């Protein structure tokens, strides 16, 4: 789990510096309300984003198989369309898996717990659906609140996500990397902050300068404390995760 430990630390820094969340490394200093809030983020990424895309992906695969069997001009056209749809859904699912993994690591930071240092064995599932069921079970238990079993449940869900990624055909770690890189761009540069201050367009936004060594050193929140993305925010680039190194230029 050493690689995941590195990502947990990266997520911790993002939660603390970018999102301004009350993360901790000490279990008895955890904020129960924040744990519940972070759990709602995990649920949203899994149930509202990943699972609907997974259903669409399974349907697209079925349509693709049917078109292959028919072997008619119409089925050939349908085959091309379904292939494009499958490719787009693989990108969506890579994004979703990266987001679920990011929020799960954030849940450990909300708990004051650290992921293990020894990588567990990848689970063996009889089907794609059984891997998703395993994640469902782990999330159900995690929703009960932090406990002695929290780390094991998070690790179990993450390993299931690795297996799901392999089944769909993309890199779990590259997807998580892309999500981390994208989230980092939510911070503002000094030039961007100067521009909104000069134009008096910040409408009471709270601007916080961070001790950052990068060019992005400002967190900007609305009056309701909602995080405002920087003008140069970039969404996750999933090309490396989905298509691999060989097609990149």
> Does 76 lie in the same domain as 34?
yes
> With 80 as the cut, is the pLDDT of residue 11 above it?
yes
Cβ of 176: how many Cβ atoms within 10 Å?
29
Structural domain of 196: 186-233
> Does 208 lie in the same domain as 146?
no
Residue 32 counted as domain residue: yes
Contact in structure between 210 and 187 (CB atoms under 8 Å): yes
> With 80 as the cut, is the pLDDT of residue 199 above it?
no
> Does 225 lie in the same domain as 104?
no
Q: What is the pLDDT of residues 40-81, one digit of tens each?
A: 999 999 999 999 999 999 988 888 777 666 665 555 666 677
> Does 159 lie in the same domain as 220?
no
Contact in structure between 15 and 23 (CB atoms under 8 Å): yes
> Does 122 lie in the same domain as 88?
yes
> Does 212 lie in the same domain as 152?
no
Domain count, the chain: 2
User: What per-residue confidence (pLDDT) applies to 247?
Assistant: 42
| Lowest-confidence region among 97-111, 162-176, 213-227 | 213-227
> Does 46 lie in the same domain as 123?
yes
CA 72 to chain centre: 40
Phi, psi dihedrals of residue 221, rounded to the nearest 5°:
-120, 145
Residue 240 counted as domain residue: no
Contact in structure between 56 and 89 (CB atoms under 8 Å): yes
Residue 249 counted as domain residue: no
Residue 242 counted as domain residue: no
> Does 44 lie in the same domain as 167?
yes
> Does 80 lie in the same domain as 7?
yes
90, two tokens = 């693989």
Q: What is the pLDDT of residues 132-165, one digit of tens each?
A: 999 999 999 999 999 999 999 999 999 999 999 9
* Spatial distance between the Cα atoms of 133 and 39, rounded to a whole number of angstroms: 18
Residue 106: name the closest of 188, 50, 165, 176 by CA. Answer: 176
Question: Which residue in the block uniquely carries the two structure tokens 């999102």?
Answer: 19
Mean pLDDT of 189-196: 88
**Which runs of E-coded beta strand occur in the chain?**
188-189, 206-209, 216-221
Phi, psi dihedrals of residue 242, rounded to the nearest 5°:
-90, -40
> Does 201 lie in the same domain as 178?
no
pLDDT band, residue 245 (cuts 50/70/90): very low
Phi, psi dihedrals of residue 225, rounded to the nearest 5°:
75, 10
Q: Where is pLDDT greater, at 217 or 65?
A: 217
> Does 198 lie in the same domain as 224?
yes
Residue 110 counted as domain residue: yes
Residue 201 counted as domain residue: yes
21: left (phi over 0), alpha (psi -120 to 50) or beta: beta
What is the average pLDDT score of the chain?
88
* Spatial distance between the Cα atoms of 143 and 93, rounded to a whole number of angstroms: 23
Mean pLDDT of 210-225: 84
Work out the angle at residue 125's Cα, subtended by the Cα atoms of residues 119 and 130, and round it to the nearest 5 degrees. Answer: 115
Mean pLDDT of 189-200: 80
> Does 34 lie in the same domain as 105?
yes
238, two tokens = 């999933």
Residues written for the chain: 249
* Spatial distance between the Cα atoms of 89 and 72, rounded to a whole number of angstroms: 25
Q: What is the pTM of this model?
A: 0.90
Domain end call among 146, 161, 183: 183
Cβ of 219: how many Cβ atoms within 10 Å?
22
């Amino acid at each position: 789990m050493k690689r995941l430990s590195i990502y947990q630390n990266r997520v911790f820094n993002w939660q603390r510096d970018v999102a301004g969340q009350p993360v901790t490394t000490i279990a008895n200093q955890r904020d129960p309300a924040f744990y519940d809030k972070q759990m709602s983020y995990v649920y949203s990424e899994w149930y509202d984003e990943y699972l609907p895309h997974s259903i669409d992906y399974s349907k697209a695969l079925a349509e693709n198989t049917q078109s292959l069997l028919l072997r008619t001009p119409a089925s050939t056209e349908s085959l091309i369309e379904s292939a494009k749809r499958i490719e787009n859904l693989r990108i969506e699912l890579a994004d979703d898996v990266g987001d679920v993994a990011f929020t799960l690591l954030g849940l450990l930071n909300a708990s004051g717990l650290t992921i293990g240092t020894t990588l567990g064995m990848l689970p063996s599932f009889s089907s794609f659906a059984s891997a998703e069921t395993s994640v469902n079970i782990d999330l159900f238990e995690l929703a009960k609140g932090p406990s002695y079993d929290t780390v094991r449940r998070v690790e179990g869900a993450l390993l299931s996500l690795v297996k799901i990624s392999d089944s769909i055909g993309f890199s779990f770690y590259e997807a998580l990397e892309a999500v981390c890189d994208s989230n980092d761009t939510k911070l503002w540069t000094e030039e961007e902050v100067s521009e909104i201050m000069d134009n008096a367009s910040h409408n009471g936004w709270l601007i916080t300068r961070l001790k950052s060594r990068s060019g992005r050193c400002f967190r900007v929140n609305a009056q309701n404390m909602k995080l405002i993305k920087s003008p140069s925010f970039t969404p996750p680039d999933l090309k490396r995760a989905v298509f691999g190194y060989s097609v990149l230029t």
